[in-house]
Amino acid sequence: MVLVITCILTGFLVQSLLPQTVGEQARRYFEKTLDEHYADWDVTIQRGTFQAGTGLIFESIEISPKTSRANLVSKWWSQQPAVKIERLTVFADLDPQKWMSGDSPLSTRRVAIEGVVANVQVAKDNGISLETLYPLPQMGPACPQIDLYGVVTNVTFEAAASREVLDGNSEPRSTSAATQPIQLRWSDIAISTETSSDESALIAGESRERKLVFARGDSNFSGPIELAYDKLQEGSDEQLRLKTTIKDCHIDDAIIARVRSRISKWLPAKARVSLHGDLSAEYIQQNETDQFELDLVVHGGNLDDPRLPSKIRQARGRIQITPEQIKLFPTQANFGDAHCTLRGTAALVRQSRTSFDLGPTDFHFTGEGLTLDRPFAEAMPEKLHDLWQKFQAHGRLNLRAHASNPSPLRSKAWTLQSEVDIRGIDVQFDKFPYPVEQLVGTIRIDNGFAVAEQLTGRAGGQRVNCGFRVPVRLDPDAPKVHTKQVTIQTEGSVLIDDALITSLTPRKAQASDQGSVSTTTGALIETSSSRSVSKVEQFVRSLRPRGVIEWATATLETDAYGNSSRQFDFRVSGGTLRYDKFPYPLYNVEGRVQIKDDLVRMIGFTANNAGSAKVDCNGLYRIPNPAAAMKADSELNLRFQIADLSMDQSLRVSLPESTRHIWDSLSPGGTLDQLDVHVHQSGTNPLDLTLVADQNESGQVTPDSLSLRPVAVPYRIDIVGGHVEYRDNEVRISNLRGRHDGSRMVADGTCIQHPSGRWLLAMDLHSGCRLVPDEELMAAMPEQVGRAMRALDLRGPISLRGKTNLLMANDDTSTPVIDWDLLLQLEGNRIADVGPVHSLRGEIQVQGVRDAEVLQAVGNIALDSMHAYGLQITSLRGPFSITNEQLRLGENARLPSPNPDPNGGGVPIVGALFGGKISLSGGVLLSSGDFEIDAALANAQIATCLAEIGQHRTGITGRFDGDSHLEGRLGDLDLLKGNGRGSVSGANLYQLPYLVQVLNLLRIKATEDVAFTNGETEFSIFGEDLNFNRLVLWGDLVALEGGGTLSRREHLDMSFNTRVSPQNLFSKVINPLRDNRYTLWTIEVDGPIEAPTIRRKSLSGITQTMEDWFPGMVRSTTADGGNVNR
């Protein structure tokens, strides 16, 4: 500037020979020179004057950018003067001799500049708006002294619109502050220049020049500012010393707002900073060497950064930077509620004048009352954050740490030594994330390991002791250390709840950070979009455990080769179990669980069910390990031994769905003595369930006795002994013994799955089985059979043996199918308590099937003996068949054959009666008891018949033949009806009491000559009345022909006519007796069958004639049946 003024004055004196105003001419020349030098700027000087004794004075100098400039920083800046000077005074002396010699006539002594305002704007590319003002124009020798007064520098920064401004979310106050300039106010600036004028020194090249600058002022972000600049040039030696001090510096949001766009990458928009301190800086350079020192003393600082978990308040400290090191003196601050102290040093390794590297660095940190949580962990260095991630600690602690690094900028490993004094920390270890609360103790980090020997806290409300030794890997290039160990012990009982079971799955870092898991590895399986579940947790959850556990120990280890192992050993007490695959509820569970690596053992478990059952359980579960050298599938083995097991609904729903139909079909009840359950599953194979049930033999039946009530035959059977196994989808029954009152059962059997998917129960009934046909048995039979049995009213036990098959229903819509092949043994049974049929002995073989549509059976009767109405029938044999409600006997039976006759056509039921053969055929409608029977008797011996009724006579011969047809309803004699016929031949009947009485009435002596030899009868039955429609007896002498009735009250009412026998000689000789039926006498029988009255009536005059013809007749005319012995 001094050179410019000197040039102007020189030009002015040379060109202005005329007496013009010196000041105006100087202003014009000065303004023109500046315009030519600054082509992009508009320069205006309002006034120029010359004052004798002082020099030139220029007023109101303004330099503004031209509006046509393409690189204008902003429209606003273009409308403001870039530089404005109120007054510029050039103190100079006028020397005419210099003018005469052609030099400038002015000799400048000093320049004073007053009221300077410079508006500087920094562009986005860090370009300075006033940089084109340099270099200044050269207008003469430099001025030795320049003084500036009242200098104000306004610095503004051009910034792109931030995201907040674009979104309209910025605060108007912060936007307004960002447009305000940073203002430097200099009260005075002194610039002096000393130049050597010694010609000899100049010739020798030893010129000397010294330039001094001293400035004082302040700013809108600080108190007093002092700046000193001293540069000395002596020949080739150069010395430079620069020193500045800023007192009472205060950086706040208003200042930050002005430069926020420049520091946004380090300081977020929502961050708030305030700083109060003093800054001093000094730089000394001598030739190629230099030295500097930067010293910042912070009296108070605050930082509110959303990236930090807490606010930093009342920061106080000092930092000193020299070419050798950066030294942080003890600096204190409040971090949230914690009081922290940080000190340290970092060596500086100079690589060039402007390039440095960090050498050995050492920091010491102390924190009292730090709050450890996730936000705090996120602010940690990566390695420390990884360590925190393993434990996810939350709570308060005191921290003392020493960190060192030989070369931080070269990614060298940090060496960390610290001591963490925890005071109520809650943690969840990643391998076993069970919440442990209020931990108290000390953790030391040294030599690459974090070690805690004795930490105490509470888990599940109980005191817990834990310790660990885990690696802390701060050097990414260092070899990975695998060795680690975690041990947990409790001093009380811990509740088995969801938190404890969830802890069996190791926590994945990505699951915690991201909240979801998309892939599964190892022993993890995907259960939802938010969490993966380990095989151990899956198995334990399948047990549905409840209760409390007492930890003996829980240890997690990893050896030097990276092989991980884990061991949990605890006892369960007062618990409950309900295994998903066999969900039988167990209570009062006590036992030991041992988990070692991939093997889970259940040892010595005991429990009770809801009743009185006592349960013992042992087992193991092997967790699959796909990462193992030899890939192994999972394996489950559980064994339950149960005593006094109640057959209740809880046991039914515990069985596999496929086997519940067996239960439903058998409907068990009561208490089983022993049950052994073995559950096995390997890998993804189907579950293998084995059940072994034993009922101890007992001769007594109690209310709690085990019982079965099959749905197909709902007849309760109390099980008093037996063995049942369910294995390989098959049920085997051995030596099953049951009873129902007087009924007994001894059987073996199997139950397998039919190709149709239904279960088939096959029973083999052994000798010793016995049924008593009581009301309960009849109610259990099919409806038709039950009604028939009630009508038959069979009494006495029936022994049976054979086989039965029951195809069980598999749903509510299907119907059981039963078939049987049984042999029934009758042992003196009878029909009704006092019925006429009794002493049935023999066997009945029957085969049949019953399903939803049909009841069909065939069989054979093989009775050795039976008594009916006082008569004994023996060797009764013959077929029968049952189709739904129809029972067919003898010839009517529909027997299976290649070409069966739909109407029967078989053989009748035959037996022996009175030495002859009796045959039966017919049918019975089981639903109503209606029957229709055809019976026939052939070759019955009269002597045998008489012997059967107690009339033992010798010499009696003859046979009886007959047949009958009967209809009626079982149990209702009023509906009985029928008819029949019979005949006697080859007999010699004269010794029977009734016949003797009749012969006496006929006055015939009972001898063999007059015996009855033949007879015929036709009869009918109605209810209990027997009607003899025709009854004829004849012999060689006489014949009887008549009829009558035997009523239900055993009252006889019969009448016979006597005639000459057609075999008598006289009937053959005498014509009237040969062709006509002449009645000689009429005999009437009336009265009870026990003592009937027999009377004779005859025609007048015939008696004497007959006596003459038959001198053997007696004189008696009546006979009293009461004197006759039946």
Digit-coded pLDDT (tens) for 1077-1091: 445 678 888 888 777
What is the sign of the dihedral through the CA atoms of 1103, 1104, 1105 and 1107? positive
The overall average pLDDT reported for the chain is: 80
Q: Report, as an integer, the average pLDDT of 824-843.
A: 84
Q: Do both 460 and 551 map to the same domain?
A: no
On the question of pLDDT at 150 being above 90, the answer is yes
Within-domain flag for 580: yes
Query: Angle, to 10 degrees, between the axis of helix 2-15 and the axis of helix 22-37?
Result: 120
Confidence of residue 513 (pLDDT cuts 50, 70, 90): very low
What is the rounded distance in angstroms from the CA atom of residue 21 to the CA atom of residue 12?
A: 11
Q: Do both 329 and 471 map to the same domain?
A: yes
Confidence of residue 1061 (pLDDT cuts 50, 70, 90): low
> What pLDDT digit, counting tens, does each position of 902-927 carry?
555 578 999 998 889 999 999 988 77
Residues contacting 1014, CB < 8 A, separation 6+: 983, 984, 985, 986, 987, 1033, 1034, 1035
Q: Do both 360 and 439 map to the same domain?
A: yes
Within-domain flag for 165: no
Within-domain flag for 69: no
Within-domain flag for 387: yes
On the question of pLDDT at 1009 being above 70, the answer is no
Within-domain flag for 758: no
Q: Which of 569-583, 591-605, 848-862 has the lowest mean pLDDT?
A: 569-583
Tell me the DSSP string of 455-486.
EEEEETTEEEEEEEEEE----TTSPPP--EEE
Q: Give the CA diameter of the chain.
A: 231
Confidence of residue 700 (pLDDT cuts 50, 70, 90): confident
Q: Do both 447 and 365 map to the same domain?
A: yes
Within-domain flag for 484: no
Please tell me the predicted confidence (pLDDT) of residue 626.
65
Q: Do both 573 and 700 map to the same domain?
A: yes
On the question of pLDDT at 1070 being above 60, the answer is no
On the question of pLDDT at 228 being above 50, the answer is yes
Q: Do both 692 and 548 map to the same domain?
A: yes
Q: Can you tell me whether residue 1097 is helix, strand or coil? A: strand
Please tell me the predicted confidence (pLDDT) of residue 100.
59
On the question of pLDDT at 523 being above 50, the answer is no
| Helix (H) or strand (E) run with residue 160 in it | none
> What pLDDT digit, counting tens, does each position of 154-174 carry?
988 887 655 554 455 555 555
Q: Do both 442 and 557 map to the same domain?
A: no
Pair of tokens at residue 1064: 């008598």
DSSP 8-state secondary structure symbol assigned to residue 915 = T
Buried b (16+ CB within 10 A) or exposed e, 918-948: bbbbbbbbbeebbbbbbbbbeebbbbbbbeb
Q: Report, as an integer, the average pLDDT of 676-688.
A: 87
Q: Report, as an integer, the average pLDDT of 233-254.
A: 90
For the chain, the 3-state helix, strand and coil shares in percent, each to the nearest 5, are: 15, 55, 30
Which position has the token pair 């208003």? 254
Pick the more confident residue, 687 or 1065: 687
Q: Do both 612 and 686 map to the same domain?
A: yes
Q: Which of 519-523, 623-627, 795-799, 885-889 has the lowest mean pLDDT?
A: 519-523
Q: Residues of the chain with pLDDT > 70: what percent?
A: 81
Q: Which of 144-148, 932-936, 1011-1015 has the lowest mean pLDDT?
A: 1011-1015
Of the candidates 1007, 1070, 1073, the residue with the CA atom closest to the CA atom of residue 1039: 1073
Preceding amide of 135 cis, omega within 30: yes
> What pLDDT digit, counting tens, does each position of 56-91 carry?
898 999 998 887 555 554 554 556 788 999 999 988
Which position has the token pair 């300081």? 267
Confidence of residue 345 (pLDDT cuts 50, 70, 90): very high
pTM of full prediction above 0.85: no
Q: Which own/partner pairs from 424-428 qualify as long-range (CB within 8 Å, at least 24 positions apart)?
A: 424/395, 424/396, 425/372, 425/393, 425/394, 425/395, 425/396, 425/397, 425/457, 426/393, 426/394, 426/395, 427/391, 427/392, 427/393, 427/394, 427/457, 428/391, 428/392, 428/503, 428/507
Q: Report, as an integer, the average pLDDT of 775-800.
A: 78
Q: Do both 440 and 566 map to the same domain?
A: no
Highest mean pLDDT among 555-564, 867-876, 890-899: 867-876
On the question of pLDDT at 931 being above 80, the answer is yes
Q: Do both 568 and 468 map to the same domain?
A: no
On the question of pLDDT at 1075 being above 50, the answer is no
Confidence of residue 608 (pLDDT cuts 50, 70, 90): confident
Q: Report, as an integer, the average pLDDT of 1048-1059.
A: 82
Within-domain flag for 746: no
> What pLDDT digit, counting tens, does each position of 198-213 carry?
565 555 556 788 899 9
Please tell me the predicted confidence (pLDDT) of residue 209.
86
Q: Which of 194-203, 800-809, 857-866 has the lowest mean pLDDT?
A: 194-203
- Which of 459, 476, 493 corresponds to the end of one domain? 476
> What pLDDT digit, counting tens, does each position of 711-733 carry?
777 888 888 899 999 888 888 99
Q: Do both 695 and 588 map to the same domain?
A: yes
Instruction: Count other C-beta atoms under 10 Å from residue 886's C-beta.
Output: 17
- Which of 476, 504, 528 corresponds to the end of one domain? 476
Of the candidates 187, 211, 182, 192, the residue with the CA atom closest to the CA atom of residue 114: 187
**Domain of residue 595, residue span:** 542-654+671-704
Q: Residues of the chain with pLDDT > 90: what percent?
A: 22
Pick the more confident residue, 507 or 302: 302
Q: Do both 448 and 327 map to the same domain?
A: yes
Tally of domains within the chain:
3
Of the candidates 207, 172, 175, the residue with the CA atom closest to the CA atom of residue 193: 207
Contact 312, 335 (CB under 8 A): yes
Within-domain flag for 1059: yes
DSSP 8-state secondary structure symbol assigned to residue 796 = S
- Which of 454, 476, 498 corresponds to the end of one domain? 476
Please tell me the predicted confidence (pLDDT) of residue 530.
62
Highest mean pLDDT among 372-376, 538-542, 558-562, 979-983: 979-983
